[in-house]
Amino acid sequence: MILPNADGAIPSVDTTEMIEVDRAMIEDFHIELIQMMENAGRNLAHLARLRFLKGDPRGRRILVMAGSGGNGGGALVAARRLHNWGGNVTIALGQPPEAMKPIPAKQLDILQRMAVDGTKASATVRELAALVRESPFELILDGLIGYSLRGAPVGLIGHLIRAANDCETPILSLDTPSGIDTTTGTIYDPVITATATMTLALPKQGLRVDSVVQHVGELYLADISVPPGLYSKPPLDKDVGPLFARDDIVRIA
């Protein structure tokens, strides 16, 4: 795999600042959430292909765990890409399909129309736990909870996290391992222990806390098309250059 390391120091954002980035993208620059989600998912699929699937997803068994929000939507975009590239993709939803937010629900609808496994109905806790633990997946994508985490993961999502951790299968997390507070670095129970994490736009402050490193694994940063000038405006006031001049994904740790 050939991906460049990041050039120089890169500032971090906390959860409040990332919410402001998303707001400015949509309201000030008219770059819609569905565009950002597509960029995130495409880059996640590409990193999965390069880092974990030896450059060729064809016939490889991949489990995609998706929550109800933007993090889940990005994971579902990655699922579509990997399916299109010949991967044997299965979806495990952290909630019933009807509980998905509108734009992630659109991504799920596309996968349902493509007849990708696991998209038609929510499974029971026992069924999903068995699926994760007993099926010979070669990679798990974690798109259960992003920066919107509020306390310890519970219910089906909590069971999926535990089941994924019980496997020997590599885990690639989107934006943050599910169960970590992206501002404080608080580690909740349960929490994903990822082999690698692909965070978006800028590194999340909580991912740089020393105690979190073992859950983050290798840390990559991916482009979702944020104009560098967005960061220089109040209230962010950050000096960010063209981070992705050499590639859409760079390694930062």
* Strand-pair category, 88-93 with 139-143: unpaired
CA angle 115, 118, 123 (to 5 degrees): 145
Domain-embedded: residue 35: yes
In angstroms, the Cα distances linking 217 to 84, 171, 228 are 27, 9, 27
Domain-embedded: residue 104: yes
What averages of pLDDT result for each successive group of 10 residues across the chain (253 residues)? Answer: 74 94 96 97 98 97 95 98 97 92 97 89 71 85 93 92 93 97 95 98 94 96 96 94 94 93
Domain-embedded: residue 33: yes
Domain-embedded: residue 5: no
Q: Are 149 and 177 in contact (CB under 8 A)?
A: no
What integer pLDDT is reported at residue 172 of this predicted model? Answer: 98
What integer pLDDT is reported at residue 122 of this predicted model? Answer: 64
Give the domain CATH number at 241. Answer: 3.40.50.10260
What integer pLDDT is reported at residue 2 of this predicted model? Answer: 62
In angstroms, the Cα distances linking 5 to 42, 102, 114, 127 are 19, 35, 36, 40
Quote the tokens at residue 155. 């219910």
The C-alpha atoms of residue 99 and residue 9 are separated, in whole angstroms, by 39
Domain-embedded: residue 30: yes
Domain-embedded: residue 136: yes
Find residue 198's DSSP bridge partners: 174, 220
What integer pLDDT is reported at residue 121 of this predicted model? Answer: 64
What integer pLDDT is reported at residue 232 of this predicted model? Answer: 94
Could you list the residue range(s) of the whole structural domain that residue 143 is in? 15-251
Domain-embedded: residue 4: no
What integer pLDDT is reported at residue 153 of this predicted model? Answer: 94
What integer pLDDT is reported at residue 136 of this predicted model? Answer: 85
The C-alpha atoms of residue 37 and residue 39 are separated, in whole angstroms, by 5
Q: Which long-range contacts (CB under 8 A, 24 or more apart) does 193-196 make?
A: 193/165, 193/217, 194/142, 195/52, 195/170, 195/171, 196/47, 196/51, 196/52, 196/170, 196/171, 196/172, 196/220
- What is the pTM assigned to this prediction? 0.95
Quote the tokens at residue 159. 């069971």
Domain-embedded: residue 65: yes
Domain count, the chain: 1
